[in-house]
């Protein structure tokens, strides 16, 4: 080896050693930061988040519930009829099982992301296809903890709703049918319904409560899901009033799909400080699930809580401190 080559090799070795040392320090700092476990550790309610099949080594250090963002949707699993693609869901479930984190399946029946081939089938085949989809999921993941059985029934009914009973006698027979099949397939799971513009809007909340009551009378529902998109400028008093009204049904409430979008750190922090306690401290709320947190992996680009350099935005630092401060309340 020439003298010049020796010098290059020495510099490369030194650079690798420095890089490894820096990485070790960064990992140690991150481990110390999350040494106490997930943000909501010790609480009787969870603080969860969505997960994609992409590698996320820190997920279980912050969150103690997981929802697949897209991997559990019918379109993602069975885009081609009869061909079930479980790879993405398998990865997420494996992460959850390894950390003892409950999984919420999202979702069985939803008009926005159904397989393209379903709409062209005759009604009896549509019904059979939905039943087969639910059964296949239950066979593969019998230990799933929670399920969004029907997503957005008020705003996005599926193309095949008539095949499941349509409005029928209850006005919501297709939803009742869906919950019946889910209960048969997953008798131990917590069955939920999920919808948006409920916390902000009394008219939607009244209709939603009527549907929940129909399911409740039949023993088919275990909790009420309320999406929390778009609450950045909502009135906390209005949110509290609608939570109170839903709580009168006597079922636990699961706040889902929460994010606060602002490119300004201080503004995002103020949004969380104003709104999150209303959700977290309500006695009927059994869990809150955020809809992403990493920059570049969240559907609203400025709603991230962890930036591209793995640095926390002030809202995430506050969120951890706040939730842990409420442990003894």
Catalytic residues, by residue number, are 152, 257
For 122-156, give the DSSP string: -HHHHHHHHHHHHHHHHHH-TT--EEEEEE-TTT-
Stated as kind and residue range, the H or E segment containing 214 is helix 202-217
Q: For residues 288 and 286, what is the distance between their CA atoms, to the nearest angstrom?
A: 7
CA-based nearest residue to 225, from 257, 261, 178 = 257
CB-CB contact of 199 with 208 (8 Å): no
User: Rounded CA gap, 97 and 105, in Å?
Assistant: 14
Burial of 248 (0-12, 13-18, 19+ CB in 10 A): exposed
Specify whether the CB–CB gap between 303 and 272 falls below 8 A: no
């Amino acid at each position: 080896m020439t003298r010049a080559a020796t010098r290059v090799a020495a510099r490369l070795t030194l650079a690798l050693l420095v890089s490894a040392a820096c990485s070790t320090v960064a990992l140690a700092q991150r481990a110390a930061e999350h040494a106490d476990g997930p943000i909501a550790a010790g609480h009787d309610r969870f603080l969860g988040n969505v997960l994609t099949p992409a590698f996320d080594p820190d997920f279980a250090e912050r969150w103690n519930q997981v929802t697949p963002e897209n991997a559990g949707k019918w379109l993602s699993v069975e885009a081609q009829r009869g061909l079930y693609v479980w790879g993405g869901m398998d990865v997420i479930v494996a992460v959850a099982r390894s950390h003892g984190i409950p999984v919420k399946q999202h979702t069985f029946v939803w008009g926005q992301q159904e397989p393209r081939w379903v709409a062209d089938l005759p009604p009896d085949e549509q019904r059979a296809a939905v039943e087969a989809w639910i059964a296949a999921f239950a066979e593969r993941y019998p230990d799933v903890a929670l399920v969004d059985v029907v997503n957005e029934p008020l705003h996005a009914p599926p193309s095949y709703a008539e095949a499941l009973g349509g409005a029928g006698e209850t006005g919501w027979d297709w939803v009742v049918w869906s919950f019946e099949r889910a209960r048969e397939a997953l008798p131990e799971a917590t069955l939920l319904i999920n919808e948006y513009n409920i916390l902000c809007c009394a008219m939607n909340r009244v209709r939603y409560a009527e549907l929940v009551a129909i399911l409740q009378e039949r023993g088919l529902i275990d909790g009420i899901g309320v999406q929390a998109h778009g609450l950045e400028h909502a009135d906390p008093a209005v949110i509290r009033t609608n939570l109170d009204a839903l709580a009168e049904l006597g079922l636990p409430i699961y706040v889902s799909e929460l994010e606060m979008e602002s490119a300004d750190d201080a503004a995002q922090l103020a949004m969380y400080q104003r709104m999150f306690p209303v959700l977290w401290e309500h006695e009927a709320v059994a869990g809150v699930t955020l809809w992403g947190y990493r920059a570049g992996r969240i559907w609203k680009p400025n709603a991230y809580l962890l930036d591209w350099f793995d640095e926390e935005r002030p809202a995430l630092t506050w969120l951890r401190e706040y939730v842990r401060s409420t442990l003894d309340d």
